Structure 1
């Protein structure tokens, strides 16, 4: 196996997914103390990234399941999830005390929520991956896919690591319910505006 292509794959993944570490940290902080939350977040991250890979590989072979003009509208996913998270935080804050504790027992992100944010946030990655995959051939594409999927685990570990550092964990515990909606809404708006959705 060519070490050069492994290095290129690792570099490409890091450059195109650096912002995911912040999002993952927020998700892990949101799920802290909820049974099975880490597993759901990792599963969601893999589902979302597998969808990105599937679309990129298909497009490299000439299939266009996702027209380029549709990619900016993926911003609606994190925007909607951010607004939902903001509404939930506002409701929990309004209840306060024991009700808030009770209301968050079932909270923590679901795999589909994490997958939706990962996929939407990686919409622009598809445009980068397609030409690389198309020129790499089937063997090279396989190496890229294996390296990418291995690095998803590293990214999940990094997000969990940052979310569990005492200083960061305290900050996220205090401000995470505000930061997560803000970050998701900002990502959604950025994807919409940069892609020119709705003539923006």
Structure 2
């Protein structure tokens, strides 16, 4: 009985610690998910966002486990360069807005994170991969990964001190919480007040959300000060 109680406490401890680790590193992801859900249309669908979020967190978690066991470890300042990904999306959206100011009725198609015709031509080389993974899913996953510098910083020591059984339990917790996070982002985007604001002003501030996210990632990782320090000192 004592052994069973100890095993149950160990499982509960893994569930609680996994929940805390996930929630503390993904609070900002709810706002990002809300923004993504607000960009849905006939091509960019709910399942692309959900699948992209799962894929992105899976990449971050796998990388963190590998790094935790000392096989691969990158300095945080280099991980911060991932912030260039959402910055690219935001700048691209602004450029597309400027190019399409004469066709305001098509804003919804222009503002989202879809591929344009040039992107589609470029990705034909990867058509085999995209039979299994949508390019929209890949884009959402790339944003999730880019926003995951703090995830890696916390997950690596977290997994390094966990047994294999504990890691498996934590992964199950992550799988459940990703679904909860996606649902929260979806409901926020569906909120009448939020949806009205996004519909009226989303095309203005959404690009800056992605650009700001990228700047935050680069700044908080110390990447900017690191490179400026090495360039000018």
- TM-score of the superposition, structure 2-length normalised? 0.77
Q: Which residue is 2:109 aligned to?
A: 104
Please give the residue correspondences for 1:90-101 in structure 2 after superposition, counting only pairs within 5 Å.
Answer: 90-97=98-105, 100=106
Q: Which runs of 5+ in 2 are unaligned?
A: 1-7, 115-135
Q: Which residue is 2:162 aligned to?
A: 136
Please give the residue correspondences for 1:36-51 in structure 2 after superposition, counting only pairs within 5 Å.
Answer: 37-51=45-59
Q: Does 2:96 match 1:88?
A: yes
Please give the residue correspondences for 1:59-74 in structure 2 after superposition, counting only pairs within 5 Å.
Answer: 59-64=67-72, 66-74=74-82
Q: Does 2:20 match 1:11?
A: yes
Query: Which string of whole-angstrom CA distances, capped at 9 and with x for unpartnered residues, describes residues 116-149 of structure 1?
Result: 1100101221010011111111111111111112
Shift of 1:108: 5.0
Query: Which string of whole-angstrom CA distances, capped at 9 and with x for unpartnered residues, describes residues 15-51 of structure 1?
Result: 11000010100100011x4255111111111111111
Q: Which residue is 1:145 aligned to?
A: 171
Q: Distance in 1 between matches of 2:185 and 2:19?
A: 17
Q: Distance in 1 between matches of 2:87 and 2:51?
A: 21
Q: Which residue is 1:183 aligned to?
A: 209
Q: Which residue is 2:29 aligned to?
A: 20
Q: Which residue is 2:129 aligned to?
A: none
Question: Alignment partner of 1:114: what SS?
Answer: helix
Relative to structure 1, the CA distance from residue 146 to residue 171 in structure 2 (aligned partners, 3 Å threshold; closer, same or farther) is same
Q: Distance in 1 between matches of 2:100 and 2:173?
A: 40
Q: Distance in 2 between matches of 1:105 and 1:87?
A: 10
Task: Give the length in aligned residue pairs.
Answer: 196
Shift of 1:185: 0.6
Q: Distance in 1 between matches of 2:23 and 2:141?
A: 18
Structure number, greater radius of gyration: 2
Shift of 1:67: 4.3
Q: Which runs of 5+ in 1 are unaligned?
A: none
Please give the residue correspondences for 1:154-169 in structure 2 after superposition, counting only pairs within 5 Å.
Answer: 154-169=180-195
Shift of 1:93: 3.5
Q: Does structure 1 retain, via aligned residues, the 8 Å contact 2:97–2:111?
A: no
